[in-house]
Amino acid sequence: MSDHLGLEVKKVSKSYGTAKVLNEVSFEVRPGEVIALLGENGAGKSTISSIIAGSVNHDSGTMTWKGQDYNPSSPGNAIQKGIGLIHQETRLLKELSVAENVFVGRMITKNGIVDFNTMNSLASEQLKRLGLEISPKQLVKNLKMSAQQQIEIAKALTLNSELLILDEPTSSLGESETNFLFDKIRQLKKEGVSFIYISHRLEEIEQIADKIIVLRDGNLVSSYDNANIAINKIVHDMVGRDVDRIFPTIENESTTETLRVENLNSIDGSFENINFSVNKGEIFGIAGLVGAGRTELVRAICGADMITSGKIFVDNNEINISSPQDAIKNGIVMVPEDRKSLGLLLEQSNSQNISIANFDVFLKSGWVSPEKIKNFSKKGIELMGVKGSVDQNANELSGGNQQKLLISKWISRKPKVLIFDEPTRGIDVGARHSIYQVMKQLSESGISIIVVSSDLEEVVGLSHRMLILSRGVQKNILTNSDNISRVEIMKQATN
């Protein structure tokens, strides 16, 4: 027993089979504190948070919570005791109302009948506490991604949670939404709620965290009592080596135009009158807030969505794109934002994933031989250094390797334009670095690259020129040599 009022984790270890994923990890979280839990994918962050949230049992070590021994038997048990985990991908029931989601599993009843009035008013109380103007009767599917996340937090708060574990809460949020979330966290902190905050966006740690702990290969390698730590130092702790420059320098002198779009208009008004061109080997960024129409724009260029008017030229020839097939045929391909639902056949082999879009490239007739598929995919996997075999299923790969698999699928057919939508979302620092290196190589080999990212640092760091979008309207095209500041871009993007 101890008189500690928060959470104490002492020498917690966990193995899966012979693989030790956590090795005597100890740390503490005091009431009203935000602890940043950092580390590469596979460092053990999700294992330790699952243990604290009761969905995984640990092998050895102890935990205390508010001075009591803490050994949650299930996530439900952990929630009862006031500890909740909010996942990266929200787990809401989209067809149900906000209030029903908040109270799912513990619906309030009166005489055996669900009492919607009470639930709605209680839910709305918590939403107000978070400063959200959302009707509790609204269906979750009609809410924006960021609002959905707030619902999860509201849900945890109605459970009187005193410790919330946030797993990559900002990965799908734009700058203003992120700031909104931070405001809420600060407010809840004052009320004594503590947080374990997991994120790959190191730039935001300083803004929100009180302390930092870093895991590497299941070991706690460092802990800091304040968050004013240089990013380089944290990265060093995470990967165990120096990452000298986060963004590679990519030269491009070409003036040969590869892609040009003229007066492009979307079918649903998400963007209008877009004009730009991309040169051979150029990296062209598209910046803007969430909802500015970035993803919609690139989806239209690669044929995933229809356009109402506008022209697209490849190598100065006008092309007609009415399906992804047309775009692929003309050398325009995209690595989509959401790997899992738009990019990969998760339950199928890596070779199937690489070959499926490329039968026309490596087959003379429509007949396939397993050997040809295997050889073609093997080449693709080696090209990108994917850590995995051709026969493995795609869902057995780590996030970074999945992304590499997707890239190798598309570069195997030697495209002219490769579009990256959120290339490094949910990917750890090491893999991120190698994806930037790949972009550099591709650019040097003459492939034009379009990068869309919510991470402004990334767009600025990579692009030669960038297009600024604000609510579907093209604001400006900036050349990176102008040394434009992030602030300036934000100003234009929010205008």
Partner 1 sequence: MENIINFTKRVFRGTQGTFLGLIVLTIFFSLASPYFFSARNFINILDQVTVLGIMALGMTAVIIIGGIDLSVGSILALSMMVTGWVWDAFGVPLHYACLIGIFIGSIAGLINGLLVSYLKLPAFIATLAMLSAARGLANIFTDGKQIYGFPEWLTNLSVVRHFGFIPVTMLVFIFLTILCWFLLKYRKEGRNLYAIGGNPEVARLSGINVKGTTVVVYTISGFLSGIAGILLTARLNTCVPQAGFTYELDVIAAVVIGGASLNGGVGGIAGTIVGVFIIGVLRNGLNLLGFSPFVQGVVIGAVIVFAVALDTFKKKER
Give the footprint of partner 1 on this chain (CB under 8 A): 302, 304, 323-325, 328-329, 334, 336, 341-348, 352, 355-357, 359, 363, 366-369, 409
Of the pair 239, 304, the CB lying nearest partner 1 is at 304
State the Cα–Cα distance between residues 429 and 442, nearest whole angstrom.
Answer: 20
Of the pair 104, 356, the CB lying nearest partner 1 is at 356
E strand spans, 231-347 = 257-266, 274-279, 283-287, 307-314, 317-319, 332-335
Cβ of residue 340: shortest distance to partner 1, in angstroms?
A: 9
* DSSP one-letter string for 157-168: HHTT-SEEEEES
Position 19: which residue type? A
Cβ of residue 74: shortest distance to partner 1, in angstroms?
A: 20
Cβ of residue 358: shortest distance to partner 1, in angstroms?
A: 9
Cβ of residue 355: shortest distance to partner 1, in angstroms?
A: 8
Cβ of residue 96: shortest distance to partner 1, in angstroms?
A: 21
Of the pair 133, 371, the CB lying nearest partner 1 is at 371
Q: Do 14 and 47 contact (CB within 8 A), yes or no? A: yes
Of the pair 241, 364, the CB lying nearest partner 1 is at 364
State the Cα–Cα distance between residues 53 and 73, nearest whole angstrom.
Answer: 9
Of the pair 220, 314, the CB lying nearest partner 1 is at 314
Cβ of residue 422: shortest distance to partner 1, in angstroms?
A: 15
C-beta neighbour count of 110 within 10 angstroms: 10
Cβ of residue 357: shortest distance to partner 1, in angstroms?
A: 4
Of the pair 219, 375, the CB lying nearest partner 1 is at 375
Kindly give, in sequence order, each residue whose CB lies less than 8 Å from that of residue 142, ignoring residues fewer than 6 positions away.
none
Cβ of residue 114: shortest distance to partner 1, in angstroms?
A: 28
Of the pair 287, 328, the CB lying nearest partner 1 is at 328
In Å, what is the CA distance from 202 to each residue of 93, 256, 328? Answer: 31, 37, 35
Place of tokens 């946030």: 166
State the Cα–Cα distance between residues 348 and 360, nearest whole angstrom.
Answer: 20
In Å, what is the CA distance from 402 to each residue of 243, 340, 345, 362? Answer: 22, 9, 11, 22
230, two tokens: 């240089």
Chain-centre distance for alpha carbon 437: 19
Cβ of residue 382: shortest distance to partner 1, in angstroms?
A: 21
Q: Do 227 and 212 contact (CB within 8 A), yes or no? A: yes
Q: Do 198 and 167 contact (CB within 8 A), yes or no? A: yes
Position 268: which residue type? D
State the Cα–Cα distance between residues 405 and 383, nearest whole angstrom.
Answer: 10
Of the pair 215, 334, the CB lying nearest partner 1 is at 334
State the Cα–Cα distance between residues 457 and 410, nearest whole angstrom.
Answer: 25
Of the pair 329, 491, the CB lying nearest partner 1 is at 329
Of the pair 202, 411, the CB lying nearest partner 1 is at 411
Of the pair 224, 359, the CB lying nearest partner 1 is at 359
Q: Do 183 and 205 contact (CB within 8 A), yes or no? A: no
In Å, what is the CA distance from 387 to each residue of 16, 102, 151, 392? Answer: 20, 40, 37, 10
